[in-house]
Chain A
């Protein structure tokens, strides 16, 4: 038996290695998981990361992991890899272009898993992104319904009321009265 290696902060200076900017090799993953050729509904997830004072976190890294449109999780050989990575900009914003995940009956309502990393976070934080236009599924989802109802909405991305491809907004509050629900899985 061995013991787990402790987590340490990602620090402020990761972008040259973990994001497409300024590194010789092609990025291993980025903000764009899907395009018009990917089976399913193309969507954008747009959000911001905020600290306990409500200020934007301009050096966070957000990673997502999700199912395909049919609810199955991608295997290594799938063109759609189901994994995305985005750093936040000067206003704390990030975005992903992906397809809306499906959900297998045993896996609850459609959702995207997310991990948030930043300077000042010694451990990354896990959360889930659900979709506001999946009310029926959300109301039966065992994870969502296990969360204190006053905090549940922090897990639901809201569909922006606009023409064109669907855009969901998801704010991540690291701390404070509106702290996002983070999970210990």
Chain B
């Protein structure tokens, strides 16, 4: 029998509010009734494991994993970081999936109507498992900003979508990573749905000279923090 640790709560000072009128799509899709407290049982404290899945190192290189007849176009970058919980403990062997627009700000998606070119050698989807120290690393193309119809002349700041699993299903996190110094951040209703400025800054990657590879690619560091254990252990 394994011992599962009870997790601390979702930090609602960090996560965005449900209804954020500046982000129009929340109006009919946000939850309006109070969430019902759920004692954490086995079903919440266990979660899927992906260590046995066929994740290859090529999956983490978006500049290569969809090449057909040439090279992916754009500014090559490295995005790397550590996956930890609130206590600072590394989360090894965890699945991180990323997706993004190409350098021109266009997604490989039938519903993306932005009039910008697709790149035949770039899909913009990757995945990786964290190593023993919780580290992950992607090589990709810096995504472009793209327009959306939320309000007149609305543009999303350049971002990479992240999907992250911890060891417990309730540690699940889907988020977006932004780039430092982007003037669109101040105008973006999705980024600003998190009320706390310090929390918002945790969504912005840092430029890293250490990760930057000479004559090859700029490096950005993006650490991800999931809910961590509360003191009381639960024997199961």
Contacts and interface: CB of A to CB of B under 8 A. Distances in A.
A73 B54 contact: no
Contacts of B170: 126, 185
B173 A120 contact: no
Given A3-B199, A65-B169, A73-B42, A17 B29 contact: no
A124 B170 CA distance: 10
Interface residues of B, number: 88
B186 interface: no
B36 A4 contact: no
30 contacts: A2-B86, A2-B225, A5-B14, A5-B225, A7-B175, A8-B190, A9-B23, A10-B163, A11-B176, A14-B161, A14-B163, A16-B109, A16-B124, A17-B99, A22-B123, A28-B97, A28-B127, A74-B48, A74-B49, A75-B49, A76-B50, A106-B42, A107-B43, A108-B41, A120-B25, A122-B30, A123-B10, A126-B38, A142-B39, A182-B35
A18 B97 contact: yes
B65 interface: yes
Interface in B18-71: 18, 20, 23-33, 35-44, 46-56, 59, 65-66
B227 A4 contact: yes
Nearest to B58: A25
Contacts of B28: 51-53, 55, 120, 174-175
B104 interface: no
Interface residues of A, number: 75
B47 A65 contact: yes
Interface of A: 1-18, 22-26, 28-29, 51-53, 55, 57, 59, 63, 65-67, 73-77, 81-83, 104, 106-108, 111, 113, 115, 117-126, 128, 142-143, 146-147, 151, 174-176, 179, 181-185
Shortest 3 CB-CB distances between A and B: which pairs?
Answer: A120-B25, A17-B99, A76-B49
Contacts of B38: 126, 143, 183-185
